[in-house]
Every structure is written in structure tokens, then in C-alpha cells.
Amino acid sequence: MQPARTDNTVSTGATSASIARLGARIKGFGPVLGLLSLCIAGTLLNGDFATVDNLMNVLTRTAFIGIIAVGMTFVIISGGIDLSVGSMAALIAGCMIYFMNALAQGAGGNLAPITMLVLGIAMALILGAGFGLMHGLLISKGNIEPFIVTLGTLGIFRAVLTYLADGGALTLDATLSELYSPVYYTSVLGAPIPIWIFLFVAAAGAVILNRTTFGRHVQAIGSNEQVARYAAINVDRVKIATYMLLGVCVGIATVLYVPRLGSATPTTGLLWELEAIAAVVVGGTALKGGEGRIVGTVIGAILLSVISNILNLTSIISVYLNAAVQGVVIIAVAFLQRGRK
């Protein structure tokens, strides 16, 4: 005969559960607390940090990486990775400029400049989706590890851009550049357009991840791919869709980035993959897949931009070590996640 459960046992169990829930909540607010701490430190170190102009600069800088990081969140949650996004953005930018210049120099006939811009933007998005489709097919149907596929295309994309630019720069036609520049420099309700696009993409990503069947399938595959197959989830189709979604996000980021300088060079998008992955993991997404939040990714992207901004304003260490700081952040977060399933 088993002894009856005492009130003390029940109380102890309830207390342990409450402590576990509190710990989970605190852990979830980790990136937010880190961001707030950095903002306070930045303000104390340099008064210019807390100005509106600097805030807009930080958020605009965040927009490009943040948009890519939203797509990267889906890929990492599904158990994948993409190391090529920076090179992909560079090639898309180069192809976009090359295409629009060809239209402006006569190949487009009597097309209006605004039509040329629209065609160039459409081309960027189609290329992004196409590159993502290629990655998805090679990974799912070709049974090649994501690391290998995207490491290979990382070199291919940047080499093709270098070839198109003949080792130099591809520069957008002056008339088109003047027409296109407001996409980056114009503000709406006090905030530059890239910030609004970033917020829209993040909101759409959060809805897709948390409120759709596709989002649930992405998380299920990342948690346990074999069980997902037993549950009749089309794993290959979902994986392909995640890489296509990331490719479209890269295309959107590139569309917003090109009017900033009006050119593409072999160094365009350099180390963007490092920043995007860092934003995702700092935001709380498990590198092993199965768990993640778009809100966390947004906070992670802003946090990394704030770190770079503080380093630039205070000269605590050389600005050339920004990438090293981001690398240390990735390793540190991966170390803290090592026990997560």
C-alpha cells in the first residue's frame, strides 16, 4: 500500500513548477534586458548615443540585417542554416543594377524610368526566391547538408558578381539613381522607409510562424524531423519554402540597400551572414532548431547594431573588431544553448 501524498509534497511540487516558469520568463526577457542595459551604457559613455538622429541611424542600419534575419529564423528553426546570404545580396544587387542600366541604355525602348525601377525590384525578388529554391532543392532532394550547399554558393555568388563588375563596381545609371534614392533616404512619419519595411516584414514573419500551419510545421521539423514525417508533414516542401522565404527576404533587403550607394562591389554584403545568424541566436532561437521567436530576432538584430554603434561612438576598441565581437557573441550564445534540445 502506497503512502498518501502529503500537503508538503504538493506544495513543494507547486513551488518548483512556479520557479521553473519564472526562470523561463526571465530567460525569455534576456535579450530585452541586454538591449536596455546596452542603451543605458551607451548613453552614459556618449551623450550623442541617445539622440533621435542616432536612433534612426541605428534602426535604419538594423533594417537590412533584420529583414534577412527574419527569413533566417525560419531556416534555423527548421534545423537548417544559410551561409550565403551576404554573397546572395551582393549578386542580386549587381544583377539588379546591370539589368536596370541595360534598360536605361536603350534595351528597354521607350520604358519610363519608374517602370525600369519596378522591373529591377521585381527581378531582385524573383532572383532571391530562385536562389532560395535552388538551395532548398539541393538540400532536400539532393540530400546535401545545408552547410555544404550554402558554403559553396557563398563563393559562387560573390565570384559571379566580381566577374560582372570586372573586379570593380557596378554603378546605377545617374537618372535612375536619383529616382531610386528616396526609397532609402525618405522618411514617413519621422522614420526612414527601410525601418517601416523591416517592421512590416517582422510582423508578417511573426504571424506566419505563430499563426499558420506552415509555421507549426517548421517548428515540428526542427524539433524532430523523423516524427514530423510520421505525422504526414511534407518535410521537403516545407524546407524548400523556408529557403525561398529567406531568399525573398534577402531580395527585399537588397532592394532597400541599393539606393543607399547606388552601386554593387565584390565587398557588398560582406559578413551579412554572420550578422544575420548572430541576430537570430541572440534573439533566443535554438541553433539546433525547433524553437524560436521573430520578436527575439528583431531584438537581437537591434542589440547587435547598438553594440556596433557604441563601439563606433566611444572607440572602446577598434571598429575593425566589430565582426570579432559578433563572432564572440555567436560562440557565447551557442555555448549557453549547448544543453537545449
Instruction: Quote the cell numbers at residue 124.
Output: 531582385
Q: What distance in Å separates the CA atoms of residue 290 and residue 178, rounded to the nearest whole number?
A: 45
Q: Which alpha helices (DSSP H) does the chain contain, by range?
A: 7-28, 30-45, 52-77, 85-102, 113-140, 146-164, 174-180, 182-185, 193-211, 213-223, 225-230, 235-261, 272-282, 294-314, 322-336
Average pLDDT across the chain, whole number: 87
Strand partners, 221: none
Q: What is the mean pLDDT of residues 330-340?
A: 69
- Specify the pLDDT at position 47: 80
Q: Of 52 and 322, which is predicted with more confidence?
A: 52
Q: Which residues contact 180 (CB under 8 A, 6 or more apart)?
A: 117, 172, 258, 259, 262
Q: What distance in Å separates the CA atoms of residue 227 and residue 250, rounded to the nearest whole number?
A: 31
Length of the chain: 341
Convert the pLDDT of each residue in 26-58 to its tens digit. Answer: 556 767 887 888 888 888 888 888 888 889 999
Sequential DSSP letters for 253-290: HHHHHHHHHSEE-TTTTTTHHHHHHHHHHHTT--TTSS
Residue 240 burial (10 A CB sphere; 0-12, 13-18, 19+): buried
Give percent above pLDDT 70 in the chain.
89
Highest mean pLDDT, choosing among 172-186, 196-210, 267-281, 320-334: 196-210
- Specify the pLDDT at position 18: 56
Q: Is the pLDDT of residue 100 over 70?
A: yes
Q: Is the pLDDT of residue 146 over 90?
A: yes
Q: Of 185 and 17, which is predicted with more confidence?
A: 185
- Specify the pLDDT at position 301: 92
Highest mean pLDDT, choosing among 2-11, 93-102, 332-341: 93-102
Q: What distance in Å separates the CA atoms of residue 285 and residue 279, rounded to the nearest whole number?
A: 9
In 3D space, the residue among 63, 24, 88 whose CA is nearest the CA of residue 259 turns out to be 63
Q: What is the mean pLDDT of residues 266-288?
A: 89
Q: What distance in Å separates the CA atoms of residue 293 and residue 285, rounded to the nearest whole number?
A: 6
